[in-house]
Amino acid sequence: MLYLIGLGLSDERDITVRGLDIVRSCSRIYLEAYTSILTVPVNVLEEYYGKTVKVADRDFVEIESDEILRDADKEDVAFLVVGDPFGATTHTDLVLRAKERHIPVRSIPNASIMNAVGVCGLQLYNYGQTVSLVFFTDTWRPDSFYDKIKQNATLKLHTLCLLDIKVKEQSIENMARGRKIYEPPRYMTVNEAVAQLLEVEEKRGDGICGTNTVAVGLGRVGCNDQTIIAGTLEELLDAEVGPPLHSLVIAGQMHFLEAEMLKSYAINPASIDQYADIHE
């Protein structure tokens, strides 16, 4: 059996009891290490599981999936994913490859940012399409996400923005020269995301992500040092959200209870009342 097991959002203890039992019974264990991160290193997981864990980066999962699936029809193999197993399309691809080989697959769900974001007080059923914000470069400044935020805003829905993670990335020069030299890990902050949103708004000019747009910055959701800060994009531009990982929510129309929750996290509660479209 190939098991895809969600680890939750914080540390080694966030795995479910069922997931832990399965991990401890598996012959081989892989940890997907590029779509998200836990707050503890791999050796802490190994100590807690009592098993060796092999870190699987993007290249390994996408190019060398044969190794993960090796003998999975004869023995139990665990593929560990921070958050929920199906938070990234790569994992769907792994399941399809397993099915092509007639390898049984079972998934063990867990909390992910997609549902844990409800902690900020904006109701999950009032969210529209989720968007991803990538790091801008001097030559690449994509803004297609703006259209989805606009569609959500038209429907008066909130937008969850997932912020870019750069792990084991190569510079263009090192890639061109075939040098296996990797850049230090980078994790987009709420401040960087807001700056990029305001830049795109200046270019597009539809008033979707203006300085007065109400948003919520979240840091390390599910952890003991979780941070939630609400305010306008202008206010969040310099807000301290703490260590990674960060997420950002663009608020749509709010029920008065949602607005009250945001005010409890607000830099300036008056900003929520002044700029939010609140209804009962």
Q: Which CATH number fits domain 114-275: 3.40.50.2000, 3.30.950.10, 3.40.50.1820, 3.40.50.11030?
A: 3.30.950.10
Distance (Å, whole) CA 163 – CA 148: 15
Domain ranges of the chain: 2-111, 114-275
Distance (Å, whole) CA 151 – CA 129: 8
200 appears as a binding residue in the annotation:
no
102 appears as a binding residue in the annotation:
no
82 appears as a binding residue in the annotation:
no
Is residue 248 a contact partner of residue 190, using CB atoms and an 8 Å limit?
Answer: yes
Spatial neighbors of 265 by CB under 8 A, at least 6 apart, are: 120, 121, 216, 228, 229, 230
Per-residue pLDDT of the chain (280 residues; tens, 9 = 90+): 999 999 999 999 999 999 999 999 999 999 987 778 888 999 999 999 999 999 988 778 878 889 999 999 999 999 999 999 998 777 898 999 999 999 999 999 999 999 999 999 999 999 999 999 999 988 999 999 999 999 999 999 999 999 999 876 656 666 666 666 666 789 999 999 999 999 999 999 999 999 999 999 999 999 999 999 999 999 999 999 999 999 999 999 999 999 999 999 999 999 998 765 555 4
272 appears as a binding residue in the annotation:
no
Spatial neighbors of 227 by CB under 8 A, at least 6 apart, are: 217, 218, 219, 220, 241, 242
Is the model's pTM score more than 0.95? no
Read off φ and ψ for residue 12, nearest 5 degrees. Answer: -65, -20
221 appears as a binding residue in the annotation:
yes
Torsion of CA 94, 115, 9, 169, to 10 degrees: 50
pLDDT of residue 36: 83
pLDDT of residue 24: 97
pLDDT of residue 273: 82
Distance (Å, whole) CA 202 – CA 207: 9
171 appears as a binding residue in the annotation:
no
Distance (Å, whole) CA 129 – CA 30: 30
pLDDT of residue 266: 97
Closest CA to 127 of 232, 211, 253, 233: 253
163 appears as a binding residue in the annotation:
yes
Q: Does domain 2-111 have CATH number 3.40.1010.10?
A: yes
264 appears as a binding residue in the annotation:
no
